[in-house]
Amino acid sequence: MRRYVIAGNWKMNMTPAKAQALIAEMKPLVAGKDNCDVVLCVPAIDIPAAIEAAKGSNIKIGAENVHFKASGAYTGEISAEMLVEAGVEYVVIGHSERRQYFGETDQTVNLRTLAALNAGLKAIVCVGETLEQRELGYTETLLKFQTKMALTNVTAEQMKNVIIAYEPVWAIGTGVTATADQADEGNGYVRAAVAEMFGAEIAEQTIVQYGGSMNDKNAAELLSKENVDGGLIGGASLKSAAFSAIVDAAQ
């Protein structure tokens, strides 16, 4: 019933020229893979080049962040309206790297989510526990709390534009992937939090991705799990063969 969403997160990689070249490589490899949505979330400066390169393909372009105010004195920031006008359809919000290095909090994640949804963007909201929190036994508490904070004041109607990515911080960029069972369990906690807020039916329809060292080797097993509806993929989204193999795994 839920559709897979395979989304790349390029982070601070790829210039506009490199973005164009990589997308040109990926286009034929993911063409016709209609069992999932294929998304590439790219650095803001790459967005026009990426949108141009993806034209006429099934690749959709996303941003990696959005500001929560409509406009104003926020030097260096980018508004939801700007992203929409550029042709962006998705935006990553609350990635652990933004929480760790750029002062992102559960409250600003919520505000950014609302700004994105109100502008008609699809929000890919990231949640995830650190290794210390996992070892202390707080994974479920933390994932439910982060999920509920992020979705505060989101309407039931807007939930169809919400994707939640469970990304255990200890698995991001480390090569240590969560086991398929750990991913399924974490995603299940996220879905349970959505159910507590919006009811079982909306929870059943909400797409919950797994992210953290997902690659062409482990994607099929992760995606076979009941609660894993796709992936948010960092390192492996910078290589056309690896990324398209993950898209294949979702077919």
CB of 198 or CB of 247, closer to ligand PGA: 247
Q: Work out how close the CB of 142 gets to ligand PGA at its nearest, in angstroms, rounded to a whole number.
A: 17
Q: Would you count residue 214 as binding ligand PGA (CB under 6 A)?
A: yes
Could you give the CA distance from residue 244 to residue 24 in angstroms, rounded to a whole number? Answer: 12
Q: Would you count residue 28 as binding ligand PGA (CB under 6 A)?
A: no
The residues in 144-183 that bind ligand PGA, with binding defined as CB under 6 A, are 167, 172-173
Question: Which residue's structure tokens are 């750990």?
Answer: 182
Q: What is the 3-state secondary structure (H, E, C) of 49-112?
A: HHHHHHCCCCEEEEECCCCCCCCCCCCCCCCHHHHHHHCCCEEEECCHHHHHHCCCCHHHHHHH
Q: Work out how close the CB of 16 gets to ligand PGA at its nearest, in angstroms, rounded to a whole number.
A: 21
Q: Would you count residue 230 as binding ligand PGA (CB under 6 A)?
A: no
Residues 6+ apart with CB under 8 A from 124: 7, 39, 41, 62, 90, 91, 92, 93, 163, 164, 165, 209, 232
64, 67, 95, 97: which is the annotated catalytic residue?
Answer: 95
Q: Would you count residue 208 as binding ligand PGA (CB under 6 A)?
A: no
**Is 167 part of the annotated catalytic residue set?**
yes
Site residues, ligand PGA (CB under 6 A): 9, 167, 172-173, 211-214, 232-236
The residues that are catalytic are 95, 167
